[in-house]
Amino acid sequence: MTMDSTVLSEPGTGDSVRYPLDPLSGSEIESAARIISGSEYGTPTLKFVMIQLAEPDKNAELTFDPAIPVPRRAFVTMYDAAAKMIYEAVVDVLAGTVDAWTAIPGRFPSYLVEHMIGVEEKVREDPRWQEAMRKRGVTDFSLAMIDPWPAGYYGAQDHYDNSALVCRPLTFMRAAPSEHGYARPVEGLIVTFDLDAMEVIDIEDHGVVPLPPTAGNYAEEFMFDPNNRPAFTEFRSDVKPIEITQPDGPSFTVDGWQVRWQKWAMRIGFNPREGITLHEVSYTDRGETRPIMYRASLSEMVVPYGDSSPTHWNKNVFDMGEVGMGFSANPLRLGCDCLGEIHYFDGTVNDSDGNAVVIPNAICMHEEDYGISWKHTDFRTEEVEVRRSRRLVISMICTVGNYEYGFFWYFYNDASIEVEVKLSGVLTTGAIEDGEQPRWGKMVAPGIYGPNHQHFFNFRLDMSIDGPGNTVYEVDSIPEPDPARNPHHNAWITQDTVVASESDGARDWNWSTGRYWKVANPSKINELGQPVAYKLTPKDVVPVMVQEGSHIYDRARFVQHNLWVTKYDPAERFAAGDYMYQSADVQGLPEFIADDAPLEDTDVVLWYTVGAHHVVRPEDWPVMPCAYTGFHLKPVGFFDGNPALDIPPSPPKACHQH
């Protein structure tokens, strides 16, 4: 296998001019922190939550002239625990100035780095926690695994003037230092922890449930232990190597953060909250560069749990807004996470003191064969024409506590785009008395169950179909409504409904009509006299189980509709709002559409939510095989025919037996 990789710690740095949309380099991150710390705003208790590029304003050309300098500005969010206040700043890292400073009262920040690593030790030292563990027969506290779960929302006590930033850690027990801790959840024990003071506030103990009796290890060192569940005697012996080779190298080219692949061009970005961002996505059609999306990224995600048990009911984690996908990105490994001719981009984030932290290989880019693109056999002449599909893959994998989320952007050589989320990792588990069955979950092993839960991911797609003036249509397939035209009861038509203003912008999928949504440019007409367009088609749609009256219903209103359409506003970035931690306020998309802005022939943004409905299985234990969800973007009249017609034929090749 050829696995030649290129690692770029800070693409485009050095003497070269940075493009206005390039992520901040490590030196720029540290400069921004240093400028603030040395200004009138700096205090000894000020901590840096996120430092990222303050993206320049979008212009009519939807791109930037590299010859025209644009200031390099950082957008910085900070938290001062002493003042219990979030601050936002815009810093010109070249001029050394703080250009804007704003206090954000009544909100709480996402996690700081020390929150993730410091909570466990403090809880382990608490005598009340130790007493609760002794009741469960645990005396070796060093083997406890304590996850600092975001607070969720218990009620008004979680959010009032001068309240503490809190989390609610959950405890699991290992039987050995490297064992699978989630196999032994400590049921009914909840800690309330003050992240400002870094101390335990309260311990709730809802009664002792025995620790589950069996191990659930999946690492190689435990695989053949007969006490493990499930246990195996050996690895499969019939898995033959698959070699991915590109003798002439990959087909893509990379210049800093700009990527060109076949007819696609785009710029890649990265920041602590969203992780991967994509910018200036375009396609070259017969020599003309045609814009498709100005910016695309994950906007928010939430994981509501459907279990009323004391340890589980408040689990409603916004893994992006409360933790950060960029912070959670894995350093990816050749041959395991990615296969083939790989190009890596490092991700650079910050710690709470403003130091730059590099995540090596945070973004993986490679090509994949994807089967047949198109084929036809003329049975009369026996002439065969077939072309193979190929896609460019841009991905990252994030670990947030027990779960892994893979975010994959696929660009195909037929000009379509696919977004796929891969879910793996480990279930968050509950313990149950021997002989009982869980009401709000399913058993996965003796004494262990997985609660019913869902995952929802909202993607923000700033569309620019052949330019900035776009209109969105909802397209339904319906039986021919005129009986006189449908004498055989077989005819059907498509019906386009314009999404005219933001009051109509919250849309739901309809299985019975095969609904999809189309983004058209009324100013660009194809040879058939129709506006050029792309369509968004669902891949998997799941029912939303979040119910009105629950705290999560208001905190995550974006899950209530499959698609939201808004008029572009640079301040509207996140589907659940900027700061949802420890707050029950309605934020985000319901606020964005409240002004009922007109949406026809304007700069539109699509916010699409995909879901995963997880009723767990024993086969999900002890580590989950990947589940998949996502959506497609496909051209509709954007081209005059099949854009993959010019793919060259593949030369015949022998297989192993021939």
Q: Strand locations in 441-551, DSSP E?
A: 441-445, 448-451, 453-463, 471-479, 492-498, 506-507, 516-525, 531-538
Q: How far is CA 409 from the centre of its chain?
A: 11
Asked if 552 and 314 count as a contact pair (C-beta separation under 8 A), the reply is no
Complete edge-to-edge strand list for the sheet that includes strand 97-104:
46-53, 73-80, 85-92, 97-104
Neighbours of 443 (CB within 10 A): 17
DSSP 314-335: T-EE-IIIII-TTTTB----BT
Give the SS3 label for residue 511.
helix
C-alpha closest to that of 474 among 498, 490, 455? 498
Task: Report in angstroms the alpha-carbon separations of 303 from 104, 282, 400, 514.
Answer: 26, 33, 12, 27
Asked if 273 and 249 count as a contact pair (C-beta separation under 8 A), the reply is no
Cα–Cα distance for residue pair 525/637, rounded to 1 Å: 9
Cα–Cα distance for residue pair 345/256, rounded to 1 Å: 9
Cα–Cα distance for residue pair 523/531, rounded to 1 Å: 7
Q: How many residues in total does the chain contain? A: 658
Residue with tokens 């009051």: 503
Cα–Cα distance for residue pair 79/57, rounded to 1 Å: 26
Quick one: which H or E segment has residue 297?
A: strand 288-304
Strand partners, 204: 190
Give the CB-side neighbour count of residue 115, counting CA atoms within 13 A. 29
| Secondary structure in 3-state letters for 80-91 | ECCCCEEEEEEE
Catalytic residues: 319, 403
Cα–Cα distance for residue pair 119/111, rounded to 1 Å: 11
Asked if 250 and 343 count as a contact pair (C-beta separation under 8 A), the reply is yes
Cα–Cα distance for residue pair 143/60, rounded to 1 Å: 58
Asked if 50 and 350 count as a contact pair (C-beta separation under 8 A), the reply is yes
Contacts of residue 299, Cβ cutoff 8 Å, sequence gap at least 6: 274, 320, 458, 459, 460, 573, 574, 575, 607
